[in-house]
Chain A
Amino acid sequence: MLLSAKKRKGSSLFNKSKTSINLALVLFIINFFIFSANQEGIFFKSIKRSLNLTPYSLSFFLDNLSNGIDSVLQYFHFKKTLIEENHNLQNQLYLLNNQILLQENLILDNQELQNKLEIKEKYFDHSVIAKILKINYSGKSHHFLINKGRSDQIQAGHIVVDDKGILGQVTAVQTDRSTVKTIRSKDFYLTGYILINNKPYQTLVQGNNQSLIINYFSKNIPIQIGDSIFTTGDDIFIPEDVRIGKVAELQPSELKDFYKVIIQPASNPNQQKYLIVLK
């Protein structure tokens, strides 16, 4: 094991040539003096106080850290509970709003129904109140279904009215439902009269899918925009003096002496839920 100095130098892994042994020895002696000096002196005490990272301070730090973690966990738990509660309350609010909407709808329905009943009692003895069914009628425009049919003695040709005026005519009847064609439909023809200066002028009214038209109306008659038009009652199903609409526009026709009159229908099936079917 004991070898010469030359060999030893080359074989050592930890060859610290830069460190002087003399320096190490001097430092050792100085350190020993410091170590054996009075460590309770003001100088050493003040340094120790400034470096006072004792185990106690560490355990204090760890305790506070665990408290901090607990607080953070509690915060998240509390937040989660609050979010859940908020979610539940929002659901309840949504349900309550729905109930209120339903009640409002019911009130509106009730009002409309009462209105229709009053009309029925006042003007039309032999009539039935029917509800419009919210069914898309095979894409056929100006047609809809009502919830009364053959069982309520409804026949094809019966007239349907709302509180404003004539609305349409029953075209097909099944056991518990019927198809109604509105007066705006192109297939709808009706005789009516316009009251001008308390004098009735009879005419033929036809639907054009948007409104009603009178194709030829003499220019000699002093018709004005806003004049009302009523049914004449020449058909067995159509009663007399039911409002059809009012004159909205006077257009020139292909014949020189005649107007083409556009009539705005009084009724609007889109705003109704209940109708009166006249028997």
Chain B
Amino acid sequence: MKSKKFIFNNVVGLFALTLFISMLISGWLIFEPLTILIIVFFVFAYFHKKLNSLISILIFGFIYDGSLGYLFGFTNLIFLEIILMDFALKKLISLKSQRTQYYPIVLIVNGLLFSLILNHSTSHLIPYLIVNLIIGYIYFFSLMKYGR
């Protein structure tokens, strides 16, 4: 129970950090909407931290949407799409152990592309993708290193 509580608290802290960084970056109005951070957080929390409670993550998603002014359900749709994609990939392919480190990145990219399908308001697609992927890559490996 204790360890579960600790993980949950830790995930809450990580969510708060993600939300804060998102708001900080979106304050510049250059990279908005910046969904990559919450996608990275979802992938990290769900797959790496093994946070089994789907409801908790969905509540995080609603808070994130409300806080940043997105349409309700936007980030949760991305997240659920990632889970479904994970199921689909597991049914179709097998991953060799040395390549599994790229697997979450594949999921993150998938989530990002899905977010573009849902909300294609950006006019500069290529710079948007490059910036988002760089930020996502840095944030994911930072979480892998320090978020344990």
| Contact between B91 and A11, CB atoms less than 8 A apart | no
Name A residues whose Cβ lies closer than 8 Å to a Cβ of B.
1-3, 5, 7-9, 11-16, 18-19, 21, 23-25, 27-28, 31-32, 34-35, 39, 44, 47-48, 50-55, 58-59, 62
Tell me if A23 and B54 are in contact (CB < 8 A).
yes
Task: Report yes or no: A27 in contact with B94, Cβ–Cβ below 8 A.
Answer: no
Q: Which among A13, A23, A34, A39 is the interface contact of B95 at CB below 8 angstroms?
A: A13
The answer to whether B97 has its CB under 8 Å from any CB of chain A is yes
CB <8 Å contact, A16 and B72: no
CB distance B72 to A39 under 8 Å?
yes
Note all chain A residues with C-beta closer than 8 A to B71.
Answer: 35, 39
Contact between B73 and A32, CB atoms less than 8 A apart:
yes
What is the CA–CA distance of A34 and B50 in the complex, to the nearest angstrom?
Answer: 26
> In the assembled complex, which residues on chain B have CB atoms less than 8 Å from the CB atom of A35?
71-74, 77, 118
Q: What B residues does A44 contact at CB under 8 A? A: 72
Beta-carbon contact of B86 and A14 below 8 Å = yes
Contacts A13-B100, A13-B103, A58-B27 known; A48 to B66 CB distance under 8 Å?
yes
Contact with A along B43-85 (1 / 0, CB 8 A): 0001100101010001000110011110111101100110110
Of B46, B58, B63, B90, most A-chain CB atoms within 10 Å = B90
Interface size, B (range): 35 or more
> Residue B87 at the A interface, CB < 8 A?
yes
B92, closest chain A residue (CB)? A2
List the 8 shortest-distance A-B pairs measured between CB atoms, nearest first: A51-B66, A35-B73, A34-B73, A28-B80, A3-B94, A53-B67, A14-B47, A55-B27
Closest chain B CB from A165 CB (angstroms): 92
Q: Find out whether the CB atom of A27 lies under 8 angstroms from the CB atom of B66.
A: no
A31 to B72, CA, bound (A): 8
B95 partner residues in chain A, CB cutoff 8 A: 11-13
B26 at the interface (CB under 8 A from A): yes
Docked complex Cα distance between A39 and B65 (Å): 12
**CB contact under 8 A between A55 and B26, given known A24-B84, A28-B84, A31-B80:** yes
- Name which residue of chain A comes closest to B63, CB basis: A51
A26 to chain B, nearest CB (A): 10
Task: Report which of A11, A16, A50 forms a contact with B66, defined as CB distance below 8 A.
Answer: A50
B79-113: CB near A (< 8 Å → 1, else 0) gives: 01101101100111111110010011000000000
Contact B47 A16 (CB under 8 A): yes
Contacts of A47 in B (CB 8 A): 62, 66, 72
Q: Are A48 and B69 in contact (CB under 8 A)?
A: yes
- B81, A11: Cβ atoms closer than 8 Å: no
Partner of B94 from the list A12, A21, A53 (CB cut-off 8 Å) is: A12
Is the CB of B12 closer than 8 A to any CB of chain A? Answer: no
Can you spell out 27 A-B residue pairs with CB atoms less than 8 angstroms apart? A1-B94, A3-B93, A8-B90, A9-B90, A12-B90, A12-B94, A12-B95, A14-B47, A14-B100, A14-B103, A14-B104, A21-B87, A24-B87, A27-B76, A27-B80, A31-B80, A32-B77, A34-B73, A35-B72, A47-B72, A54-B23, A54-B67, A54-B68, A55-B27, A55-B29, A55-B68, A58-B27
